[in-house]
Structure 1
Amino acid sequence: MFATFLQGLALSAAMILPIGPQNAFVMSQGIRRQYHLMIAALCALSDILLICAGIFGGSALLDRSPTLLFLVSWGGVAFLLWFGWGALRAALSAAPQQLQAQVNKQSRWRLVASMMAVTWLNPHVYLDTFVVLGSLGGRLASAERTWFALGAVTASTLWFFGLAILAALLSPWLNTVKAQRVINGVVAMVMWGIALQLARQNLHF
């Protein structure tokens, strides 16, 4: 059973480590020290729900509905392009201090809504949790499936809290105009790269 737990832990960690919308959002809130632990907790909770849904039957839903997978993927392409554009605007802003002040004025509920968007509108979340984790975990016996899911959600929870705390600790060095420009520029390029990859997969070339 412990081997199955480690398998779920390792696979989930491998998929969550690359920079994506969730990671970028958690990191940015950690750097600002603005509700970063709350955001990490909500991201972890969302991943727990998605991982369990994928492993305990959700993957079959996408397998039976190519149209749903198509809509999720192309909706995600549009979302990633929009997210990347927002990051690029922040990187190229002529008045980053003013832009930062506007960001800091966001209410807790607006941040929660943004977190929900970067999580539940991100197609990679469904591809990772439903297609990859779901297809592998769904083949296991009932008891092993539970341990696999436990390992996967443990990796997700540790990662989001670790990222938020580390970003907050590094805030004095990362919360500068130059660093923010670089971070936002990298996030924009990564988001557009993921969008291009998804589009190419959907167009089969």
Structure 2
Amino acid sequence: ANFIINNLWSSDGNLFHNYKNHKSSINGYLEDYCFVISAFISLYEVTFDEKWLHYAKQLTDYSLEHFYDEKAGFFAFTSNLDEALISSHFETEDNVIPASNSVMGKNLFQLGIYFENSYYEKVSLRMLQNIIPNIEYPSAYSNWMDLALNYSEKNRELAICGTSAMEYCNKINALYLPNIVLAGSKDVSNLPFLKNRFVADQTLFYLCQNKTCSAPISDFQEIISDLI
């Protein structure tokens, strides 16, 4: 991750696609942005280091500015800074790797929760709504279906705030809990989703759904029972 930040991310916000002999020469494609953003979000989920979310947000904002086509409701595969193609290409079907637009949809969903950004959520939902009528072969849209589950009643958000946050983070990540958005902090946090949740000398769990959170509790087993 640090190699990407130090060598493949330019000062103007652009990611590069290649690196050879200490040089990068090809502007990144949507697949480069979406998977790096997803990786940064995953790093946050296992470290609770908020810098990874802020890096993910920077790349997301750049992607929205230079790849997102408001009319089509999808992200183009190439940036509007690159030479224009005869027709825009929007990668929407999964192949050997998930479709770049489906990954961006999931990124926007998660970051929309972390940063309480309604525009991210709006774009993510619009992308999903645009793709649903075209889903005829589930094998080509499995990652979209995963995104759809995030909008189901089974999706939850869990915040862990307190000095033992990382201990419980590791325990949560050892379990199979799909469609959970996980956040946490060992100290006071300015991340919108975590703001005003830290209480000194306690470790509290906040279980939320659709922006509505239950009262904080300190019993880890109770939280696990609610999640499973």
Q: Choose between structure 1 and 2 for higher RCO, CA contacts under 8 A separated by at least 6 residues.
A: 1
Q: TM-score, normalised by structure 1?
A: 0.28
CA radius of gyration, larger in: 2
Greater percentage in helix: 1
